[in-house]
Each structure stands twice: as C-alpha cells, then as structure tokens.
Structure 1
Amino acid sequence: MEARSIVPRRYLNVLVDLSAVAHNTRVVRQAVSRPATAVMAVVKADAYGHGAIDVARAALDAGATWLGVYTTAEALELRRAGLDAPILAWLHNSVESMCLATAAGVDVSVQSARTLAFAVDAGRSAGRPARVHLEVDTGLARGGAALQHSAALLDAAKAAQSQGLIEVVSVWSHLSHGEVPGHHTLDEQAKLLDDAWRRAVDTGLDVRRHLAGSLSALTRPDLHLDMIRTGSALYGLLPYTERHSFDLRPAMRVTSHVALTKWVEAGQGVSYEHDWVAPSALNLALIPVGYADGIPRSLSGRLSVSIRGRRYPVVGRICMDQMIVNCGDEKVEEGEEVVLIGSESDGEPTIHEWALAMNTTPCEVTTYFDRPHVNRQTVPAVGTRPWTG
C-alpha cells in the first residue's frame, strides 16, 4: 500500500456540501422569470475550488441546464465524467482548443476575427458546425468584440454559418457591475447587448442572448433573457446582505487539527522574526497548515480559528506549512479539530471574513484551496440520482 493512501500529503481538509450547492441552484432557478430561460452553472476554476464534477452533477440535478467553463480542458474533464449537458467554454487561444471542444460537442465563444477563424477550422475538421456564442464587449473592457468591430464580426459569422461551418447560438456579454444593484451600467450594457442582438437578427441569424450573472439573475428579471449564468450564487458567495436576502448557503468548510500545544512565558517571541510577543504567560497551539495550503501569509495577525466552538487568534507570521494560535489561559488538546472556515451560525470564521480581511472577493478565497494536495471531500446532496460515466 502506498504511503499516500494512508498518510495525507498535507493537513488541510476541505468539505464541500453539495446539498448547499443544490439548494442555491434551486434558489436561482426559482428566481428565473421565464420557464424557457436556461440556467448555466458556472464551474470554471474547478468550480471555484469546490470540485467541478461533483458540483456540476449537483447543480444539474437541482435544475441547472447548462454548464459554463473557462477552457476546453475544463470542458473535456466534464465530458469524460459522463456529463452530457450543454457546455460553453469561453476562452480559446488556439485552433486546436476549438477543434477538441467541437469534437466533444462543447460550445465555444468567439470574440474576434481570429477566434472566428479558429471556429471555422474546427467545424471543417469535425465535419459538423462549431456551435458559437458571439461575445461583445458592452462595457467591461475585458473579453468580447469591441462594439465598433461587432458588426463586421456578425457579418463574417453569418457568412461562415451559410457555408455550414459554424452555428451561431447566441450573442452574449458580461456585466461590469453585476453585483452592484441599481448601478447605471446595468441598463446601459443591457441596451448595448440588445442592439448587437438586433443587428444579428437583422442579418438573418436566429440567435439567443445572455447577460445576467448571479446577483443580476436574482434581482433583475428583465435581464434574464434566454439564459442566466450563475457562479458566485451557486457557492453561496454573494455579499452578506444579498446572501441572506435570498437564503444562499456557503458550501465550503475548511478544517485542520491541533498538532502541538505549549506553554510560553511573557516576553516570548512567536514565529519568524518575532512579529508578535506574548504579553503574558499563555498557551499556544500549533496548526499544521500555512501558505502552501492556500492560507495567505498576508493574513498573519488578522485571522482567527475556532476550536470547540471558541475563537482564538492566529499570532505571529503564518509560515509555509504551520501557523500558531493564542489560546490564552485555555487548554486545548492535541488532535482536536480546528475550523478555519465554517458556519456563521455557529460563530465560526467565514469565507466572507477572510475576504474582508484580504480586501478581496469570497470567490478568490475559495480558489486558494484548489490544490492537488488538499484533502477535499464532499457531502452528497440529498435526493440526487446516481451518476455513471
């Protein structure tokens, strides 16, 4: 028996609650204003660190009808797992990427003359039309064809479709302020997408539209159009107010254990360069995880953990694979569970606390734990059907 089968490579545990994923999917599905509107579960970046295959299955069982990923490699992983739902992969840097996607029945996004040429070659290679979603930039200034080039791209796509090399499925875009309810750009971008879609229809293309992401799917029914794309809501990662307003549930729990305890006297420096010095005699607990496990060193002195339902601060510098907790007068036991991210209702640290301390989004926090050596397990969603493949 190999050592890795009985001894973990690292000591960080990630537990993903697929019932929370299923619940959040149903919340989004029920918010959709038109039965014909499709729901895309976005599972890029290994489902934001939650595990793409398991999350995709749970979301599809709960009412999602599409899957969204970043790359062809992510899409092919889902296909190999036996998932046959429609998939959109939206960034391609080679004709080979689009050829593999098209051969696997994966839709592709086109945002320039160059990527349209990739799609045409992919359709020719596969012997069937590449299914294309034309992305236009309506104000994010990230992906998508610039508006001044979108008319030419539409004409070229129409010509390629008439030759049987591609099938244009939709015109789509991405909101710049999708998680800022009431922001003026929401209406402005919606109008620009509508203009692009009408131009596509005028050229003779029978295409759909999609624009709304997680929060806009929950708060702006007028933006639902033909499909909504839910990412952060799927994992319960929307901002505090919106998350509670819609009863979204975080799906990730992160734990470790106490590896060592020790008593130190007042004046004892702790961890590298003694950034923190014990103000009095106290108990310390060593936790065998650090920045190699996805815990940013920048959180040194700004993080707390929960042991036996009580919070304790992390003190001194977070190291590559260890960090130290100040337990004060309390005595904790070696081997006890340490909760790094857990339940808000139980008073445990949350993903949103981490994000606030790091001045970032909760989505960034969960992706830190998408590491090969992390011990990730799932809690199955209740009532889901068995999957094969």
Structure 2
Amino acid sequence: MRARAEVDLAAVRDNVRALRARAGNAQLMAVVKSDAYGHGMVPCARAAVQAGATWLGTALPEEALALRAAGIGPGQARVLCWVWTPGGPWREAVEADVDVSVSALWALEEAAAAARAAGRTARVHLKADTGLGRAGCQPADWPELVAAARAAEAEGTVKVTGLWSHFACADEPGHPSIAAQLASFREAVEHAERAGIDPEVRHHANSPALLTLPESHFDLVRSGVSVYGISPVPQIAGPAEFGLRPAMTLSASLSLVKKVPGGHGVSYGHHYTTPGETTLALVPVGYADGVPRHASGTGPVLVAGKWRTVAGRVAMDQFVVDLGGDTAGAGERAVLFGPGDAGEPTAEDWARAAGTIAYEIVTRIGRRVPRVYLGELPADREARP
C-alpha cells in the first residue's frame, strides 16, 4: 500500500478495560465521533462494547444512525448524540432509540414533535452550561427548560434519561474552573430532581476528568481520546502510566530514494537546502492525507531504523526526509507514528512538532489512507471483561 493506518482493536478493548477499572461504579461511554477519532467508527464501537462499554457517544445524528444501521442495537449499547440543528433528523433518531441532547427549548420542542410523529417517547439528555460556554443551557434559563421537559414527560412525548455537562479545563488539573463547574452541575441536577426529573445517568467527566478527577464520575464517564490509547494530559503522564496503549500506527512506503548534491533545494519554497551531498527519501503522504503542514521541517519519521525529520514543506501528497547519506530502498516502510514500541514517533510527538494536540493528529488522517484492522473479533462475540 502507498500508506496505511493500522488500528489495533485489541488495544482498544484493553484501553476500555483499563478505563472501566478507573471509573469505579460509573458506566463507561466510548466516544466514537469523527470516525472514532480517525480510527474507524463501527469497528472501534464494536470493540469498545465487547470490552464492556455500555454507552457510545457521537456528535452528529448521522453518526448515531450509522451505528444503529451497522447492527449495534440498544440491547448492546445506548447511543447519545449531542450536536443538533433545527430541522435535524429528530424523528429518525427517536425511531432508532438514540438518546438526544437538548440545550434549549427549541430542541426540546423538536424532539417532542418527532416523538409524536414516531408514536414513541424520545429519550432526552438535558445539557447544562456549567462554564464551558459552548452547548448547554445557561443557569438562568435552566428552570424554564426543566419545567418544559417535565411537561413533555407528563404528555408522554419525552423521557429525560440524562443530565449532563462538559468541562472546559479538565486537562489542566487544579484549574479553578473545574471546582466551579462541578458545583454548578450539582446545583443543576438538584434543581431538576426537585422538579421531578429522575434521570438514568448524570455525567460530566470526559477523558481527563475520568483519569484525574474521581469526584466527577457520577453515573457515567465519557471517554474519548483515551479509548484510542492517547493521554489527554500528556504533561502529567503518558499512555503507559494510565494503562493505555495507542491503537493507530500510520506508515507509508517510500516512493523514491535518490542522491543529491549539497545546496539542493527541497520542496516548495526551498525552506530546506541540503547541507552537503546526501540521500533524500520521498514519503508519499501529505496534507491531503492529514499530515499537518504545520509540521514542515519538524515532523518526526522513522526511516531505515532512525528518526528523521521532514525536510522542507509538507506538500499535498508527499514530503521528503533527508537520510543523511544512509541507504534505503523504494518500498521500504516509513513510520510516522505508532505506540512507540519499535522506536517510532508517537502521535504526541507529532502534536508537539505541529503545535497542536494528539487528538487532532489522529482525527485528521483522511479517507485516502486505508484502515487495516488488527485483532478484530466477530461482531457477535463478547471479549472477556
């Protein structure tokens, strides 16, 4: 293959088990939005469920519906979807037994209307904005939303199955906003329960809070990037310290190796010029495949047994590494990132090189790069918890 992203589903299952062990009595939601952070939504969702995840999380309703279409039914895992716009496929979600997030009256009204049209009750999670300032209902508007949800429950169109919120700075343990958000969430939950709401789950913890903030676990934790073996708090500990293993290895086959003289410009703009006679290797992936252009001149690659650095600009379909006179052959494997076991860089190394986070590195790997799954179990087989 020109390039491949190997995804170790055994690692995904092991990560889920490790995360469940840290979650205490809370259930675990495996977040599989954005094609499971680039790893492949359906295979990773199945692996997570096999390892004991009882919930799956998606951003878009189309993602949630695709999980149900793939045969992952409510008896295997509940599915929560949280990014909605007016006129979205509410009825399809209700009919597919997908839990939907509601942050405002208009969304509650559309969920209730969809339930009437479908002839069944909509499962709704009310989201409180406890300080992130993104989705979620502001504290001043919370009583009105709760009252409207109770009225919809009395009508039989809605069942509030969840109360939830999301942290702004859980990846910065000790940040003052964390305690403030927890206090705000507890107040929102208490108000809703006094009003008669009896949710199945209360949830606030994302991956960093799951790993560093036990008091935030409540009934359910939402684990995203950690399911795929990436530490959400690399400044505190790497994956291994949390019992996690990166699941994706990205590699490509060298398409050309050639000798060039000193002073030879490399790639667009000649931002790199060879310091002397050397050997250049061409790696046939680029920013169209998700390799960050911001990592031009800094991105690490394992070629011919050594770490190399991207020489010059990352182009749309390819980039160059300077082998410093070492030899390699066309077709030889270049490893951009993986677990690091064989000395290769990790997604975190690429994140540092590009000035971003490892979440983005794995999620941006595009569809031109085939996913190759290792350790896959039959869809109907449960792994040992």
Could you say what the CA RMSD is over the residues aligned between the two structures, in angstroms?
A: 1.4
For 2:343, which of 341, 347, 352 is the aligned residue? 347
Report the Cα offset of residue 354 of structure 1: 0.9
Taking only the aligned residue pairs, the percentage that are identical comes to 41
**Which range moved further: 274-283 or 87-96?**
87-96
* Residues 1:324 and 2:320 aligned together: yes
Alignment partner, residue 218 of structure 2: 225
For 2:42, which of 41, 53, 62 is the aligned residue? 53
Equivalence map 1:121-140=2 (5 Å): 121-140=113-132
For 1:265, which of 257, 261, 264 is the aligned residue? 261
- Unaligned runs of 5+ residues in structure 1 are 1-7
- Going from structure 1 to structure 2, the CA distance change for 1:215 and 1:273 (only over 3 Å counts) comes to closer
Aligned 8 A contact 1:14 1:252 in 2 = yes
Alignment partner, residue 143 of structure 2: 151
Query: 1:279 corresponds to which letter in structure 2?
Result: P
Report the Cα offset of residue 96 of structure 1: 4.0
Alignment partner, residue 56 of structure 2: 67
Q: Quick one: distance in 2 between partners of 1:221 and 1:297? A: 38
Q: Deviations for 1:367-386, whole angstroms, at most 9, x for unmatched residues?
A: 111x23211111125xx454
Q: Quick one: distance in 2 between partners of 1:128 and 1:164? A: 8
Query: 2:211 corresponds to which letter in structure 1?
Result: L
Equivalence map 1:193-272=2 (5 Å): 193-207=185-199, 208-238=201-231, 239-240=233-234, 241-272=237-268
Aligned 8 A contact 2:247 2:338 in 1 = no
Query: 1:233 corresponds to which letter in structure 2?
Result: S
Relative to the length of structure 1, the TM-score reads 0.93
Relative to the length of structure 2, the TM-score reads 0.94
Aligned 8 A contact 2:95 2:118 in 1 = yes
SS at match of 1:76: helix
Report the Cα offset of residue 167 of structure 1: 0.4
Aligned 8 A contact 1:305 1:314 in 2 = yes
- Unaligned runs of 5+ residues in structure 2 are none
Query: 1:78 corresponds to which letter in structure 2?
Result: L
Aligned 8 A contact 2:8 2:374 in 1 = yes
Aligned 8 A contact 1:309 1:346 in 2 = no
Alignment partner, residue 311 of structure 2: 315
Query: 1:222 corresponds to which letter in structure 2?
Result: E
Alignment partner, residue 160 of structure 2: 168
Q: Quick one: distance in 2 between partners of 1:316 and 1:170? A: 50
Query: 1:106 corresponds to which letter in structure 2?
Result: V
**Which range moved further: 215-224 or 100-109?**
215-224
Q: Quick one: distance in 2 between partners of 1:104 and 1:221? A: 33
Task: State how many pairs are aligned.
Answer: 374
Q: Quick one: distance in 1 between partners of 2:107 and 2:115? A: 12
Q: Deviations for 1:158-194, whole angstroms, at most 9, x for unmatched residues?
A: 0011000100111100011122222222222111111
Alignment partner, residue 3 of structure 1: none
Query: 1:372 corresponds to which letter in structure 2?
Result: R
Report the Cα offset of residue 123 of structure 1: 0.9
Query: 2:284 corresponds to which letter in structure 1?
Result: P
